[in-house]
Structure 1
Amino acid sequence: MKTSRKLAIYAAMAATAALAVTGCTQRNSDEPGASGGEGGEGDGSVTVAFVPKLQGIPYFEAMNTGGEQAAEDLGFEWLYQGPTTADAAAQAEIVRSFIQQEVDVLFVAPNDPDSMAPVLEEAQNAGIHVATTDTDAPDSVRELFVNQATAEGLGTALTDQLMDAMGGSGKYAIVSCGETAANLNSWIEVQKEHTANEYPDAEIVDIVYAGEDQAQATQMATNLMNAHPDLTGLVGECTSSAPGVAQAVTDAGRIGEVFTVGLGTPQAMQPYLESGASSASVLWNVEDLGYLTGWAGLQLANGDEIEAEPQVDDIEGPTYDADSHVLLLGPPMIITADNAGDFDY
């Protein structure tokens, strides 16, 4: 399916599994669109809708590609639409539009899990299967969460990659995205704990939030370097802030002095990895996450039980925890200058 499956995975995280499933290829327009096809486990009558945090950025477009491929392979209709800004109210309106369309399954990557919870309840009351993907709303009625990797795995990997670049000591700051994003906040908590426990000579001096705005992330990273002249590290906590912090270091002429890592998509990060402005990107196969989301939606629609180690296409290592209703794609992988070119997103 994708060349990215050939890449080395962050091996130390492999034992953290608890959930998971799928991935693949294609793309939608800005309006809710559909792709269906022969095969698999569906007859084309099931509709699975996905509302991302933000439409138009490479990360969620890659998820959409995977979802479309799952629809083509397995025989269901895939719908995709998100807000043009990372706005919880705008996202809720799109969710309500899918409720009005009476889709069978609705997946959301909520910008604000708390405010999304009552909207998900509206969908469930309308007879729609509701689930989350990429970002959870654990206090909602969601039936399933498709998780890209564990918080422990991602937080530990981000910290270790940065500490490798910084020599295990020094001051660093985090440029995150949405202040209420449950997944980002869970990773940051792991980073705080792992830094304190394993790197006593390192310190997190600040955490700021740039929304899903790369230019804002660049400006905030610049401000952090000015406010902390002895800063030697920056973490971009999402796919817009990862290239943003690397660009700030580039603009400041401080490559080799201030080290960055983040959760950036391979193509966005490749020039920074090659220049040394970024030391590594910690991510997962984003298209596989989209494929897994589509596959899981079909299981919900059909009322099929998900096994503890489901077999989904040629994705390796997905797991499902029936107690928490979490489907885990697997451990994170490390993207460097050597393998960034193996991805097409």
Structure 2
Amino acid sequence: MTPISRRSAVLGVAALSVSLALTGCTKAATGATPSGSGSGGAAAKLSVVFIPKNLGNPYFDTSDAGGKKAVESLGGTYSEVGPQQASPDGQVQYINTAAQQHVSALVVSANDPKAIGDALNQARKGGTKVVTFDSDTDPQYRDLFINQASPEGLAKVEVDGITKQIGDSGEIAILSASANATNQNAWIDLMKKDLAANHPNVKLVDVVYGNDDDQTSFDKTAALLQTHPNLKGIISPTTVGIAAAGRYLSTSDKKGKVALTGLGTPNQMREYVKNGTVKEFYLWNPADLGALAAYAADALVKGTITGKEGDTFTAGSLGSFKVGANQTVLLGDPFAFNAGNIDQFKF
């Protein structure tokens, strides 16, 4: 199954503006249209606020651009706001502002599973629907979670990729995002279990955190190689981290000697695939993920679904989706990018 081709393939997000990260701050005060029942008469216009982990992150530029396109196709108002640095405290202030504006829905990639919970529930009490995507909160704090792929599938494809590249033997490390990132920690726990059960000759010697910051991730990569001179591979399950690690390795004497894989976007990783630094990496289509989150938010706002298991809704050209256990909707399976196919994708 190839979810990207199956669900609308590439949405042309290379043409969608990276300037969302710059314009989001100005939209914070004016982009959201109040949508509470107090507006009276006909239902108010759909208004959806996307709050990524941090602004200026190419992954969220892409996913939120997909959300913007979907919201506007539904006749709604879209805005993107968020902190410059990935932190739960930074997200809370934007959640509170959106709640005060009585927006129809919030779409949030959580920097912490609990720390933003009270703010989200306060927004929900005011009538705002809450959809998490990419990184979840505890279920009690949201109406739906849009999952990019199953944690098991993502962990397995990354472990299989790195172990194959290093001959299923030797030392590896993980370069993650923030230490509290819900999705990252779930994947890492599953990777550890897979390694222990199926790859006895592969040793995970370190897990480090680049906080989804390019320079920090670059520096952490350098430190890993200095601390572990026998390192044979790095898994980076974060688009910022894998690109920073690729940039470091591509100009170091470890190029071609230390394998690198994880989750990245084709536009970020194209150079490193073509120059031999990276053989293969993985992802879903982030624009599809953002679009699916937007359609789910719209269905919640309209009352087409409530978030209970078994609910179904249509997400434009992506097709029909069903709500699973724990109010979760699954986009699809991860996709492998390599030298043979990377030029087919422009996001």
Structure 1 position 245 matched with structure 2 position 241: no
Question: Deviations for 1:158-181, whole angstroms, at most 9, x for unmatched residues?
Answer: 111111111111110001011000
Q: Is the 8 A contact 1:106 1:130 kept in 2?
A: yes
Once residues 223 and 71 of structure 1 are traced to their aligned partners in structure 2, the CA distance between those partners, rounded to angstroms, is 42
Deviation at 1:319, TM superposition (A): 4.0
Once residues 317 and 329 of structure 1 are traced to their aligned partners in structure 2, the CA distance between those partners, rounded to angstroms, is 10
Once residues 329 and 186 of structure 1 are traced to their aligned partners in structure 2, the CA distance between those partners, rounded to angstroms, is 17
Question: Deviations for 1:116-165, whole angstroms, at most 9, x for unmatched residues?
Answer: 11111111122211221111002532111011111101000111111111
Deviation at 1:313, TM superposition (A): 2.8
Once residues 63 and 105 of structure 1 are traced to their aligned partners in structure 2, the CA distance between those partners, rounded to angstroms, is 16
Provide TM-score, normalisation by structure 1: 0.87
Once residues 230 and 64 of structure 2 are traced to their aligned partners in structure 1, the CA distance between those partners, rounded to angstroms, is 41
Once residues 278 and 199 of structure 2 are traced to their aligned partners in structure 1, the CA distance between those partners, rounded to angstroms, is 20
> Paired residue for 1:14?
none
Question: Deviations for 1:220-278, whole angstroms, at most 9, x for unmatched residues?
Answer: 11111111111100111201101122222223221221000011111011111111212
Q: Is the 8 A contact 1:133 1:293 kept in 2?
A: yes
Once residues 321 and 219 of structure 2 are traced to their aligned partners in structure 1, the CA distance between those partners, rounded to angstroms, is 38
Question: 5+ unaligned residues in a row in structure 1: which ranges?
Answer: 10-21, 37-41
> Paired residue for 1:294?
294
> Paired residue for 2:315?
312
> Paired residue for 1:336?
338
> Paired residue for 1:17?
none
Once residues 128 and 34 of structure 1 are traced to their aligned partners in structure 2, the CA distance between those partners, rounded to angstroms, is 15
Provide TM-score, normalisation by structure 2: 0.86
Query: SS at 2:207's partner residue?
Result: strand
> Paired residue for 2:75?
75
> Paired residue for 1:185?
185
Query: SS at 2:257's partner residue?
Result: coil
Once residues 227 and 254 of structure 1 are traced to their aligned partners in structure 2, the CA distance between those partners, rounded to angstroms, is 14
> Paired residue for 1:151?
151
Once residues 233 and 44 of structure 1 are traced to their aligned partners in structure 2, the CA distance between those partners, rounded to angstroms, is 52
Once residues 100 and 35 of structure 1 are traced to their aligned partners in structure 2, the CA distance between those partners, rounded to angstroms, is 10
Question: Deviations for 1:63-88, whole angstroms, at most 9, x for unmatched residues?
Answer: 11111111232222222111111122
Once residues 117 and 143 of structure 1 are traced to their aligned partners in structure 2, the CA distance between those partners, rounded to angstroms, is 12
Deviation at 1:328, TM superposition (A): 0.7
Deviation at 1:308, TM superposition (A): 5.6
Q: Is the 8 A contact 1:24 1:69 kept in 2?
A: no
Once residues 148 and 198 of structure 2 are traced to their aligned partners in structure 1, the CA distance between those partners, rounded to angstroms, is 25
- Relative contact order (alpha carbons < 8 A, sep ≥ 6): 1 or 2 greater? 1
Q: Is the 8 A contact 1:70 1:294 kept in 2?
A: yes
Once residues 344 and 277 of structure 2 are traced to their aligned partners in structure 1, the CA distance between those partners, rounded to angstroms, is 20
Q: Is the 8 A contact 1:131 1:143 kept in 2?
A: yes
Query: SS at 2:317's partner residue?
Result: coil
Question: Deviations for 1:186-231, whole angstroms, at most 9, x for unmatched residues?
Answer: 0101111111111111111000111011221121111111111111
Alignment of 1:207-286 (within 5 A): 207-286=207-286
Q: For residues 335 and 265 of structure 1, do their structure 2 counterparts lie closer, same or farther at Cα, with a shift above 3 Å needed?
A: same
> Paired residue for 2:328?
326
Once residues 76 and 124 of structure 2 are traced to their aligned partners in structure 1, the CA distance between those partners, rounded to angstroms, is 20
Amino acid at match of 1:340: I
Q: Is the 8 A contact 1:283 1:332 kept in 2?
A: yes
Q: Is the 8 A contact 2:32 2:101 kept in 1?
A: no
Once residues 102 and 214 of structure 1 are traced to their aligned partners in structure 2, the CA distance between those partners, rounded to angstroms, is 35
Amino acid at match of 2:234: L
How many pairs are equivalent? 324
Once residues 343 and 60 of structure 2 are traced to their aligned partners in structure 1, the CA distance between those partners, rounded to angstroms, is 19
Question: Deviations for 1:34-64, whole angstroms, at most 9, x for unmatched residues?
Answer: 599xxxxx98811111110011221111111
Amino acid at match of 2:342: A
Amino acid at match of 2:146: V
Deviation at 1:309, TM superposition (A): 6.0
Q: Is the 8 A contact 1:24 1:291 kept in 2?
A: no
Amino acid at match of 1:344: K
Q: For residues 162 and 308 of structure 1, do their structure 2 counterparts lie closer, same or farther at Cα, with a shift above 3 Å needed?
A: farther
Amino acid at match of 1:121: N
Report the RMSD for the aligned CA atoms in angstroms: 2.5
Alignment of 1:42-191 (within 5 A): 45-191=45-191
Deviation at 1:97, TM superposition (A): 1.2
Question: 5+ unaligned residues in a row in structure 2: which ranges?
Answer: 34-41
Q: For residues 267 and 325 of structure 1, do their structure 2 counterparts lie closer, same or farther at Cα, with a shift above 3 Å needed?
A: same
Amino acid at match of 1:312: A
Range moving further from structure 2, 307-316 or 278-287: 307-316
